[in-house]
Amino acid sequence: MGHKKQPQHNYLDHRIMSTNANIWNESLINDWVATQRKYWDTWSEFAQKAGAGAFAAGSEKASASNPFAAFSPTAGNPFGQNPFAQNPFANNPFAGNPFASFTAARNPLEGALEQWWSAIKPQAQGEIGTVAQRFYDMGKSFMSMAEGMFGAAGQEQPDAALNMWMSSMQAALQQWIAQIQNNFDVATPDLPGVSGTTLSTWAQLADSVAPWLNMSQHFLKEVAEGHLPGGIEMPGVGAAQEQFLRALSMPGLGYTREQQERLQRLARHLLSYHDSLRGYKLAFAKTALASLDAVQKRLQALHKDGKKIESLRGLYDMWVDGSEEAYAKFAMSDEYQVVYGDLVNALMRVRKDMNELVEHQYELMNIPTRSEVDTMQGRQQENRRENRQLRHEIAQLRAQVERLSKPARAASAAKGGSRTKPPAQDSLPIDDDTEEDLTAIKGIGPKMMEKLYAQGIKNFAKLAQMNTDFAERLDESLKAQGRILRDDWIGQAKKLLG
Amino acid sequence: MIPFQMRPDEIVSEARSFNEKLAKGVGNLMDVGDIPSGVTPKEPIYKEDKLVLYRFKSETPASNKTPLLIVYALVNRPYMTDLQENRSTIQGLLEAGQDVYLIDWGYPDAADRFLTMDDYINGYIDRCIDVICARHGVDKLNVLGICQGGAFSLCYAAMHPEKIRNLVTMVTPVDYKTPDNMLSHWVQNIDIDLLVDTQGNIPGEMLNWTFLNLKPYQLMAQKYLGVVDLMDDPKALKNFMRMEKWIFDSPDQAGETFRQFIKDFFQQNKLIKGEVQIGEHTVNLRKVTMPVLNVFAEQDHLVPPDASRALKKYVGTKDYTELSFPGGHIGIYVSGKAQKMVPPAIGEWLNAR
């Protein structure tokens, strides 16, 4: 490839080593930051070189697909392009990330990764654009893992590098869990140095429920940060929450009572949503830890078999398999069923309350509401159903009338062809109009009984009198789908008559 | 001891090579061009609301005089059965002598939220069957139901056995509570009434998200990593894109249909209990008395094989056959192996009956 020798070895000399990888301390962060810096320095150099080589054209056109354009001296100002504008993670509703401010102050290169990926990201719209986005996300994740490994590779032994990398992730996860437990879970960790790998995948999985349910990101962010609609500030846990809940349960007074009650209900549901989300994320965070274990086990098994991981791809695949295994176990657990259902239900309750609030406003403005439209659509669908049914029945009746209006032809046909069946009887011999409850017969419901009554069949005796031909024709005109014979109404009627 | 053996320079070298491939591949992605929704020529036969009934054109007249209607799921789009040349279940069925019709459900919108399973099955499907029967002057036809469409076909066959000559179910869930059914496991604690009352139709994206989350690491990340190696081959990339387009082409599901399908089928497993009520009918699988061919995929992560295999226990027919395919829920339609195995076997089974 002709790239220049990587200067990473010098970097080892002044690298600050974390002595205790189990604690997410400042020196560890500095460590990662330094690693990132070195890594991206390396990349930038390569990028410039590649920009002048492989993508030498340097024309406006070429730079559109040139992933290194942003770093190329011939390209425009790389900072002119807001890296967050296209950042798929910028929509993260849990923006109040405690790490974000912590790292931003210390990491002058924060965003370099974004910058680079923004540059590589194709500008396509539509199908291609969405697929490109997925490649982009995957590549970012893969490169981020490479970055992590590269950073940790400063260790004397490569295996120790991986160990350190995993320990740091474990520490970060434990910290995340502690945050959630302390109700400080407004942030999904954008863990320095390891973003985009398995950790943030878990975090994204935990987060992705929100867009799934079509909630507005902004709204969720507000909720997650404790700001409720109407200027209500949501306190944290414990006594304060209890008091707050009590306040929310106080009956509303006077003429705005209903509206007050709606708001109280919404606030209660928001609190319960907040709790459900916490439970859901906690379960995810714990499972992410389990996935690290699963990966460890795979590594041990490899070691036992005397096999080695000699490529990033091999490491990535093993990582995916281990994580998927832990995830599958989690996803099939009773715990997941509960936290998942609780979260969806809690979110739906909030959404329902919001809909009601909006509808109330609409009513005040004399604007039609969703409920009204629903009622109309429901009725319309009912009418369409009936209409179809009636048209079908009319067509059948027409056909029947047509058959009946040609008795002469039928009779002569019967005379001519000796094999033709004798004309079926058109009415039942006994003439009794006593009404009996025909629903005693299996297969006859109230609607069917009505239809039978309309045909003059009002009691068991009449049913019992039917012959097969009559039953078949009756079945056709009632659109009973063969039920009369299949369910043996005649036999059942006979039985009931004793 | 961790068996990781990579020096920093090796890491950089692999990362660089990966990035180069990806960068070139993303360039190729822009040149993929339009991707058709299905490749076999077809003509619309009947339209109603958003539904279109198609008949596929064949170069040779069908040897089987009984037409075959494919009932696809309301999830995703039916062109999965006709994705690309040489990877088309439809093509395979035509070659096996079938006269193939297919219901394209279209994209329901908010105005369709009150479409019930009764509307779909005793309405749309029934009328499509009448149209085909009238065209061919027959009383009965063959039906092939796919996934949720298979469940609909089973219900139809139980309610109108006189109109179906042979029934083929493909990757069709019958027992919704087998222990390995992840989707079913997830929905048990969801208040479906609250969900449907609040959401109306169920957004396709939400369904899609759910399916991808059955195997998130493989389906949302690893898959794309694998493709990076073939992105320099425009043809391979285009074929990859056909599948991508299909996966993310997900119509919304009519709210009332979703309500009944999830509550009665997934949550209460009423189909095998004979308790599903559709319109005026109670669905009893014992009434499925015509010959049945049940086709399922051994590595199906959406509809576990046991969920399909259960049909044997509950169906009323004496002529029941199983076809087990060594692949997945989608592979059964699009893999090279499937082309050689599945449509010819279905055709042969139908032709013999």
Which three-class secondary structure state does DSSP give residue B189?
A: coil
How many Cβ pairs closer than 8 A exist between chain A and B? 242
Yes or no, beta carbons of A137 and B280 under 8 Å apart? no
Domain check: are A259 and A305 in the same one? Answer: yes
Which residue of chain B is at minimal alpha-carbon distance from A486? B287
Residue A355 has a pLDDT of 84
Is the minimum CB–CB distance between A312 and chain B shorter than 8 Å? yes
Best probe of the A interface among B10, B26, B186, B199, by most A CBs < 10 A, is B26
Residues A391, A478 within the same domain: no
Judge: A205–B30 Cβ closer than 8 Å, yes or no.
no
Element (H, E) at A227: strand A227-228
pLDDT above 50 (res B291):
yes
Is residue A405 domain-resident? yes
The pairing of strands B281-283 and B87-88 is unpaired
Buried b (16+ CB within 10 A) or exposed e, B40-78: bebeeebeeebbbbbbbebeeebebebbbbbbbbbbbbb
> Does residue A290 form part of some domain?
yes
Residue type at A264?
A: Q
| pLDDT recorded at residue B304 | 95
Between CA B249 and CA A441 the distance in angstroms is 48
pLDDT number for residue B351:
95
Cite the beta strand spans of chain B per DSSP E: 42-48, 51-56, 68-71, 82-84, 87-88, 100-104, 141-146, 164-170, 276-278, 281-283, 292-297, 320-325
Nearest CB partner across the interface for B2, out of A162, A355, A448: A162
Q: What angle do CA B280, B285, B287 make, to 5 degrees?
A: 75
Is residue A203 less than 8 Å (CB to CB) from chain B? no
Q: Kindly determine whether residue A65 and residue B27, on different chains, have CB atoms separated by under 8 Å.
A: yes
Q: Are B311 and B145 in contact (CB under 8 A)?
A: no
Q: For B111-155, what is each residue's pLDDT tens digit? A: 999 999 999 999 999 999 999 999 999 999 999 999 999 999 999
- Cα of B253 vs its chain's centroid, Å: 14
Q: List the single residue in B with minimal CA-CA distance to A40.
A: B12
To the nearest whole Å, the CA of B57 is away from the closest chain A CA by 28
Residues A79 and A52 in one domain: yes
| Residue A52 phi, psi (nearest 5) | -85, -15
Considering the domain architecture, whether residues A99 and A176 belong to the same structural domain is answered as yes
Return the minimum-mean-pLDDT range out of A172-176, B161-165, B254-258.
A172-176
Residue A410 pLDDT: 52
**Top-confidence residue, B276 or A103:** B276
Domain range enclosing A451:
431-497
When divided into structural domains, chain A yields a total of 3
Sorting pLDDT into bands at 50, 70 and 90, what band is B268? very high
Q: Are residues A485 and A343 in the same domain?
A: no
Q: Are residues A385 and A491 in the same domain?
A: no
- Residues of chain A whose pLDDT is less than 70? 1-134, 136-137, 139-141, 143-144, 146-161, 183-256, 407-432
Measured between beta carbons, the chain B residues lying within 8 angstroms of A351 are 198-199
Distance, in Å, from the CA atom of B3 to the CA atom of A64, rounded to the nearest integer, reads 41
Residues of chain B found within 8 Å of residue A340, distances taken between Cβ atoms: 186, 189-190
ipTM for the complex?
Answer: 0.90
The C-alpha atoms of residue A194 and residue A171 are separated, in whole angstroms, by 12
Give the residue-averaged pLDDT of B33-49: 90
Of A3, A345, A447, the CB nearest to B190: A345
**Is pLDDT of B162 > 80?**
yes
Alpha helices (H) in A365-423, listed in sequence order: 370-404, 407-416
Is-contact B152 B117, C-beta < 8 A? yes
Minimum distance, in Å, between the CA of residue A221 and any CA atom of chain B: 20
Q: Which of A348, A373, A393 best probes binding to B when mutated, by most B CB atoms within 10 angstroms?
A: A348
> B2 to chain A, minimum CA–CA distance in Å?
5
The answer to whether residue A60 is domain-embedded is yes
Q: Is A163 on the interface with B (CB under 8 A)?
A: yes
Same domain, A248 and A357: yes
CA B300, B304, B306, B310 dihedral sign is negative
Q: Is residue A167 situated within a structural domain?
A: yes
Q: Across the interface, which of A149, A320, A445 has its CB nearest the CB of B11? A: A149
Shared-domain flag, residues A138 and A86: yes
State pTM to two decimals.
0.72
Catalytic residue flag (residue B147)? yes
**Residue A486 near chain B (CB below 8 Å):** yes
A387 and A474 in a single domain? The answer is no
The pLDDT, as a whole number, for residue A100 is 30
Closest residue in B to A356 (Cα) is B198
C-alpha–C-alpha distance, residues A240 and A234, integer Å? 9
**pLDDT (0 to 100) of residue A133:** 67
Q: What is the pLDDT of residue A241?
A: 56
3-state secondary structure of B46: strand
pLDDT of residue B88: 94
Q: Name the catalytic one among B128, B133, B147, B155.
A: B147
Do the chains contact at B200 and A213, CB–CB below 8 Å?
no
Q: Is residue A15 part of a domain?
A: no
Q: Which of A137-141, B211-215, B337-341 has the lowest mean pLDDT?
A: A137-141
Shared domain check, A447 and A417: no
Q: What is the DSSP string of A329-357?
A: HHHTSHHHHHHHHHHHHHHHHHHHHHHHH
For residue A18, being part of any structural domain is answered with no
Instruction: Tell me the pLDDT tens digit for each residue of A447-456.
Output: 888 888 887 8
Min Cα–Cα distance to chain B from A194, Å: 16
Q: Is A1 domain-assigned?
A: no
Q: Tell me the pLDDT tens digit for each residue of B16-34.
A: 777 777 777 777 777 777 8
In the 3-class helix/strand/coil scheme, how is A10-67 assigned residue by residue?
A: HHHHCCCCCCCCCCCCHHHHHHHHHHHHHHHHHHHHHHHHHHHCCCCCCCHHHHHHCC
Which residue on chain A is closest to B210 by alpha carbon?
A212
Residue A412: the pLDDT is: 54
Closest CA to B307 of B348, B260, B266, B336: B266
More confident residue, B82 or A296: B82
Q: Based on the domain organization, do A439 and A417 belong to the same domain?
A: no
Contact between chains at A158 and B7 (C-beta distance less than 8 A): yes
CATH number of B42-351: 3.40.50.1820
Domain-located, residue A437: yes
Domain ranges of chain B: 42-351
